[in-house]
Amino acid sequence: MKAVVRKTARVQHRPASRSNERRLVTQHPRRRVLSLAAGAAAMPAAARMAWAQSYPSRPITIVVPFAAGGPTDLIARTLADNMRTAFGQPVIIENVSGAGGTIGVGRVARATPDGYTLSIGQNALGCAARRIDHGARRLRVETSNGAITADAVIVTLPSNVIAEETLVFTPALSEKVEAAAGLPLGLADKLFLALSDADEFEKDSRLFGRTDRSATGVYHFRPFGRPQIEAYFGGAFAAELEKAGRAAFLECATAELVGLLGSDFARRLNAVGLHRWGVDPFSRGSYSYARPGKAECRRALAAPVEDRLFFAGEACSLGHFSTAHGAYLTGVAAADQVVAARTQKRAGSYS
């Protein structure tokens, strides 16, 4: 069944931006956005500074390790607006780009650890978190590169990672593990293909590889008008392809498209990007779904612990689960909770 409409007229296309930051957003959209929003909001451990009556007593600087105008910069400026209102102090955005974000992160690492120079970005620490110990006055996050102390942490891990206890909480948070287990991840992988002479096809048209079986791909031609094909593979079939390796996705897509559009079509295709969510140890799947009778697990997973452990992610969203914007909104909500908790603690210190 050919569901693609070909055109005779040709139109011009703008070349897609491929900066380092934009490429990361394209390949890991929901994880990327959520990590940026929540990771920055957590403001981990400004080294044993005194969060008493005096903080903050002067302007705070947030270093964005990417250029102005990108998604990281946008999130930082949104966060800064909330911080200005909550703290009553100027919050300055400083863009320090270069080397994939490491120059900006290095600038913060060399700053005085007094809580007045913060960073926002993805994988700023470049290591995996293994344990969060919340049994003492300050939180202790144990990573593969050592331990970090913090006043507040936002956990943005996918539900499968929490359910499998890849990250351990001490003391144990059995209610979080149980809630995450009620919200397992499905599997939806996307292969992006560059398409030459793409103007032949209508923008946002679609083609089904097969209509007589579920083990097939669905092909989205010219998403957002770009000269590309966005190929979708889901469920058990996606799991089979992941097991076979990255090349299996391209082989499947090429075979199905050639079968529908002719043998000459193969030369017009070039693989651009693919992420296998199921075998990614930091994801273990794509989007969450609630098991029968487990919808309330979303509320349980999102609930803060002791007003210093906060949770975000699309699985925590009550109305926008399984979406990138749901993940983003829960990250913003968790950031607001952190600010509110800090503000309340600060107000309490005056009473």
State the pLDDT confidence band at 47, using cuts at 50, 70 and 90: very low
Three-state secondary structure call for residue 257: helix
User: Could you identify the residue written with the tokens 């209508």?
Assistant: 202
Quick one: average pLDDT of 273-293? 94
Asked whether the beta carbons of 199 and 249 are under 8 A apart, the reply is no
For the cut 80, the answer to whether the pLDDT of residue 285 exceeds it is yes
- The whole-number pLDDT of residue 48 equals 35
- The whole-number pLDDT of residue 53 equals 52
Of 21-25, 154-158, 276-280, which range is least confident? 21-25
pLDDT digits (tens, 9 = 90+) for 227-263: 999 999 999 999 999 999 999 999 999 999 999 999 9
State the pLDDT confidence band at 147, using cuts at 50, 70 and 90: confident
For the cut 70, the answer to whether the pLDDT of residue 271 exceeds it is yes
Out of 10-19, 59-68, 94-103, 178-187, give the one with best mean pLDDT: 178-187
Alpha helices in 182-268 (DSSP H): 235-244, 246-261
Cβ-in-10-Å burial (0-12, 13-18, 19+) of 196 comes to exposed
**With pLDDT > 90 as the criterion, what percentage of the chain qualifies?**
62
Q: What contacts 18, CB < 8 A, 6 or more positions away? A: none
The Cα–Cα gap between 267 and 254 comes to 10
Task: Tell me the DSSP string of 24-39.
Answer: HHHHSHHHHHHHHHHH
Quick one: average pLDDT of 17-35? 36
The larger pLDDT score, comparing residue 125 to residue 6, is at 125
Quick one: average pLDDT of 325-351? 87
**With pLDDT > 70 as the criterion, what percentage of the chain qualifies?**
82
The Cα–Cα gap between 157 and 161 comes to 6
* Domain spans in the chain, listed from the N-terminal domain onward: 20-184+284-350, 188-275
The larger pLDDT score, comparing residue 198 to residue 107, is at 198
Q: How many residues in total does the chain contain?
A: 351
- The whole-number pLDDT of residue 26 equals 31
Asked whether the CA dihedral 169, 174, 179, 182 is positive or negative, the reply is positive
What's the fold here for domain 20-184+284-350?
FAD/NAD(P)-binding domain (3.50.50)
For the cut 60, the answer to whether the pLDDT of residue 167 exceeds it is yes
Structure tokens at 318: 């009550």
Quick one: average pLDDT of 99-123? 80
The larger pLDDT score, comparing residue 252 to residue 27, is at 252
pLDDT digits (tens, 9 = 90+) for 181-230: 999 999 999 999 999 999 999 999 999 999 999 999 999 999 999 999 99
Half-sphere exposure of 318 (CA within 13 A, CB side): 6
Asked whether the beta carbons of 101 and 24 are under 8 A apart, the reply is no
State the pLDDT confidence band at 55, using cuts at 50, 70 and 90: confident
Average pLDDT score, the chain: 83
- The whole-number pLDDT of residue 345 equals 83
